[in-house]
Amino acid sequence: MNLARLTQMDPRELAWRGRAAARIAWDRLTSTRVRPSWDRRQLHAALSDDPALDAARAALEHERWREAHRALALHFAFTPQRFVLAPSNHSTLAASIRERFAGALADATLRGEKIVAGRYDLLGYRSLTFRTDRALDWHHDPVHDCNAPLVFWSDVPYLDPKCGDHKIIWELNRHQHWLTLGRAFWLTGDPRYRDRCISELSSWMAANPPLMGINWASMLELGFRSLSWLWAIAFFADSSTTGEPAWLVDVLLALDRQLSHIEQNLSYYFSPNTHLLGEALALYVCGRSLPLLRASESREAIGRRVLLEEAHRQVSTDGGHCERSTHYHRYTLDFYLLASIVARITKDPAAVEFERTAARLADAARLLADDEGELPQIGDDDGGTLLPIVGRAPADIRDSLAVASVLLDRPYLRIGSPMPEESYWWLAHPSLVARVDNSFAAARARVRSAALRDTGFYVSRSTRGDHLVIDGGVHGYLNGGHAHADALSLTLTVAGVPLLVDPGTGVYTIDQALRDRLRSSQMHNTLVVDGRSQSIGKGPFSWKTTANTRVRQWRTHHAFDYFEGMHDGYWPIEHRRHVLTLPGDLLVVADLVVGEGIHTASVHWHIDPRWRVHVSESSVTFAIRETQCQLVAPRGHMEHFEGDVTTGLGWRAPIYGSIEPAPSLRITHCDALPFWMPSVFGLARSNPVVDVELLPVTAEDRSPASAVALRIVRGSTTDYVMFADNASGLLRFGAFETDARVLFCRERDGQFGNVILLEGSRVHLDGENALEFDAPHRMPQVVFAGT
């Protein structure tokens, strides 16, 4: 750490870092003198003084491990439920899921069998094997055939590609596949799934002595693993047999040690984002759910305090998460849902605040998700989820919204019917089961266009399932570690199918060139000047320069939505974007490049590979099933890429670790600034866009280049659109005269109507079918049908 960074720290941070450094130095020294190992005898001191644990403590004191194990199993079987799942839920919940979900049993068996066979589906990888000499290698990255060293935890260089991709190693060591084994065990009754989990626990502890290796290096990963172990206790503790290993002794011993490590090294100053939230969640949930551990009370207090404090720091007033990543927003929602459930079950007064935060996050998530429950991939996507029990894609948020709809009594959050299977695992407590059943009859309201202004997302929706999300927010949070160079980028779903998509993440540290390319401006649906990226990366999680975005206008109406924003990422050149959408009908994106000199600008559109793409000069047709739409660009040279290794265009990462070819369009124009680059998308198959013509604009008291006008020829109408970058003086184009900032007018069978006028007082149309509108003063918004 350099001197400049030290001078920026306040006394509290300096003191915390000093204590942490001293403790780490002492632990490192101790590990060199005494080989770290697990000692079951330490569990005796870790248990609370609860008289119900007398038998377990007595057995531990005399090192009768299996006897202690049986006493602990009885304790878990008969104490009141304090976690989302408990042994007492087994028979009722398993029967309910088998009855409601016809394919659950077969799916659980298939997934469970893969794990028993040692094949793991992790992130975007399938059937990974981590075996070395018949044993699981918990420090191995099989994709890149690398191993992380077994050294003291703070000395592990996990960001170094020589260790492999730490994300792959950590994903296995989260042990979230134990939830898959638990599901298979409960639904089938086959003990092999339980045996596999217990065997892996023994293997993991043998390979990961306290504080040694990569699996002790991230407090967030310890937090996820601790929660997985809590699920394992709920799944397997009630089926203990007299001849099995004392695995409950081991799991509690290792849980206690890992939770202590998290508590001592919380990411207050290292990653005070979702890392800190996930760590606090583990302390709170484990502390609240395991009162038999002596330190639980202090841990839950720390976790509760951090979760409540960070709810104000990390969750905006509009409900968006501060990192401006939809994936990390979903993580945060799930964190607060889990905290809310545990708080409610255990009657913690903090439940009220947790639920209030979860409600804000859930409302924002419902707005950001399309009507199929899919989130756009804005910002980083690490490929993980909090509850991957049935293998749902991370971008599919229907399960989280269903849980929120029941827990928070907000039926409009739920998408589709029936409730996803995951909801039943989340809501297994008897006090919540009845709410699940009652939720089926609740009515759900349609989600309308709206903005998360503080977070910076602007969302337009249509009744048929079109979904447009525009990114007008700041560049991430703190150092922007999970942000992309995507100022003014947008994503678009048409009739329930994503069309314009973000590229995803793909990698973090193993391939810096690929990391930089996938988060560059060229890989997003925005404009690039002279081949530059708006923001320039510096390492995998920081930036040399970042673009500043300003939203100039957002208006929404049942007939249209309008967005206008700008950013300075190419300073002294500015990119200004105007977006007008008639939901389900037409989308016009007009990009203005402002500055001096001759420059080259390129507008990029990245297409979901499910669509068939046909390019013809300046127009493109997209088709999937019965849906068809068009793109016409009246200015610029259009190119089509798919899996291009020279430019790097035509690729996407649907999930971390998976890179695949995908159609990509680049429209390029070189000229003296300023100039406009419009893109027109016809979204209605019944009224396709046939041609788009740029109309000359003459101006009064302003430069003609400050406005752009389009004549859009369609199957059954001709549409006229005009955007002005400032609002003063009269503009004339074709037969129109107006002082508006934005004007839309539709001609059908020689008659003009469907007029939209923003920030103006006048529109005149000369000729046989004259149209006149005059107001005594400028009006922010006028919409009328005409004749």
Tokens for 404, please give them: 């929120």
743: Cβ contacts below 8 Å, ≥ 6 apart:
720, 721, 722, 736, 755, 756, 757, 758, 760, 763
Tokens for 187, please give them: 């639904």
**Residues 537 and 643 placed together within one structural domain of the fold:** yes
Average pLDDT over residues 534-562: 95
Within a domain: 673:
yes
What beta strand segments (E) does 87-153 contain? 120-122, 125-128, 131-132, 135-136, 140-141, 146-147
Boundary-marking domain end, from 685, 710, 741: 685
Q: What is the pLDDT of residues 58-72, one digit of tens each?
A: 999 999 999 999 999
CB contact burial 662-684 (16+ within 10 A = b; e otherwise): bbbbbbbbeeebbbbbbbbbbbb
When pLDDT is cut at 50, 70 and 90, the band that residue 1 belongs to is low
Q: What is the pLDDT of residues 100-158, one digit of tens each?
A: 999 999 999 999 999 999 999 999 999 999 987 678 999 999 999 999 999 999 999 99
CB 344 within 8 A of CB 352: no
Tokens for 88, please give them: 């007492």
Boundary-marking domain end, from 665, 685, 705: 685
**Residues 211 and 229 placed together within one structural domain of the fold:** yes
Q: How far is CA 235 from CA 76, 88, 109, 240, in A?
A: 11, 10, 16, 11
CB atoms within 10 A of CB 170: 24
Report residue 564: phi and psi, to 5°.
-145, 125
- Three-state secondary-structure class, residue 577: strand
415: Cβ contacts below 8 Å, ≥ 6 apart:
366, 369, 371, 372, 373, 398, 401, 402
Q: What is the pLDDT of residues 157-204, one digit of tens each?
A: 999 999 999 999 999 999 999 999 999 999 999 999 999 999 999 999
- Residues 567 and 171: their CA atoms lie apart, in Å, by 37
Within a domain: 73:
no
**Residues 255 and 291 placed together within one structural domain of the fold:** no
563: Cβ contacts below 8 Å, ≥ 6 apart:
458, 470, 472, 551, 553, 554, 577, 578, 579
Closest CA to 655 of 373, 323, 375: 375
Q: How far is CA 213 from CA 203, 291, 536, in A?
A: 15, 29, 33
**Residues 644 and 779 placed together within one structural domain of the fold:** no
- Residues 749 and 530: their CA atoms lie apart, in Å, by 43
- Residues 214 and 228: their CA atoms lie apart, in Å, by 18
Q: What is the pLDDT of residues 607-635, one digit of tens each?
A: 999 999 999 888 999 999 989 999 999 99
Average pLDDT over residues 422-450: 81
Q: Does 440 have pLDDT greater than 80?
A: no
When pLDDT is cut at 50, 70 and 90, the band that residue 702 belongs to is low
Within a domain: 41:
no
Q: Does 781 have pLDDT greater than 80?
A: no
Q: How far is CA 601 from CA 422, 523, 570, 648, in A?
A: 46, 14, 11, 18
Within a domain: 12:
yes
What beta strand segments (E) does 61-132 contain? 120-122, 125-128, 131-132
H/E element, 569: strand 560-570
- Residues 629 and 269: their CA atoms lie apart, in Å, by 48
Give pLDDT, residue 418.
83
Within a domain: 677:
yes
CB 468 within 8 A of CB 491: yes
Mean pLDDT of the chain: 93
Q: Does 695 have pLDDT greater than 80?
A: yes
Tokens for 259, please give them: 């939770």
- Residues 472 and 717: their CA atoms lie apart, in Å, by 32
The conformation of residue 445, written as its DSSP 8-state character, comes to P
- Three-state secondary-structure class, residue 752: strand
The type of residue at 499 is: L
What is the C-alpha radius of gyration for the chain, rounded to an integer number of angstroms? 29
**Residues 628 and 640 placed together within one structural domain of the fold:** yes
Within a domain: 431:
no
**Residues 91 and 239 placed together within one structural domain of the fold:** yes
pTM higher than 0.75: yes
Question: How many domains is the chain partitioned into structurally?
Answer: 5
Percentage of the chain lying above the pLDDT 90 cut: 83
**Residues 249 and 342 placed together within one structural domain of the fold:** no
**Residues 458 and 580 placed together within one structural domain of the fold:** yes
Boundary-marking domain end, from 685, 720, 753: 685
Give pLDDT, residue 787.
36
Q: Does 390 have pLDDT greater than 60?
A: yes
**Residues 485 and 550 placed together within one structural domain of the fold:** yes
Q: How far is CA 202 from CA 196, 246, 339, 403, 573, in A?
A: 10, 10, 29, 34, 60
Range of the domain at 296: 271-422
Dihedral sign for Cα 477, 479, 480, 482, please. negative
Average pLDDT over residues 524-531: 97
Q: Does 786 have pLDDT greater than 70?
A: no
The type of residue at 450 is: A
Tokens for 460, please give them: 């337009």
Which residue bears the tokens 């970058």?
725
Return the higher-pLDDT residue of 339 and 618: 339
Average pLDDT over residues 332-345: 98
76-82 long-range contacts (CB < 8 A, ≥24 apart) are: 76/233, 76/237, 76/238, 76/248, 77/237, 77/238, 79/52, 81/345, 81/429, 81/430, 82/288, 82/289, 82/290, 82/291, 82/342, 82/345, 82/346
CB 619 within 8 A of CB 604: no
Give pLDDT, residue 444.
60
Q: What is the pLDDT of residues 710-752, one digit of tens each?
A: 999 999 999 999 999 886 688 999 889 999 999 999 998 888 8
Give pLDDT, residue 18.
85
Closest CA to 535 of 481, 487, 606: 487
- Residues 397 and 420: their CA atoms lie apart, in Å, by 10
CB 567 within 8 A of CB 487: yes
325: Cβ contacts below 8 Å, ≥ 6 apart:
378, 379, 380, 381, 476, 482, 483
Within a domain: 71:
no
Within a domain: 409:
yes
**Residues 388 and 537 placed together within one structural domain of the fold:** no
- Bridge-based pairing of strands 675-682 and 627-632 is antiparallel
645: Cβ contacts below 8 Å, ≥ 6 apart:
none
Give pLDDT, residue 63.
96
705: Cβ contacts below 8 Å, ≥ 6 apart:
674, 675, 676
Average pLDDT over residues 400-416: 94
> How far is the first Cα of the chain from the last one, in angstroms, to the nearest whole number?
70
**Residues 728 and 676 placed together within one structural domain of the fold:** no
Give pLDDT, residue 785.
57
- Residues 270 and 24: their CA atoms lie apart, in Å, by 15
Q: What is the CATH number of the domain that holds 313?
A: 1.50.10.100
Q: Does 14 have pLDDT greater than 90?
A: no
Q: What is the pLDDT of residues 16-55, one digit of tens each?
A: 888 888 999 998 999 888 899 999 999 999 999 999 999 9
Strand partners, 719: 712, 746
In three state form, how does the secondary structure of 462-527 look?
CCCCCEEEEECCCCCCCCCCCCCCCCCCEEEEECCEEEECCCCCCCCCCCHHHHHHHCCHHHCCCE
**Residues 1 and 123 placed together within one structural domain of the fold:** no
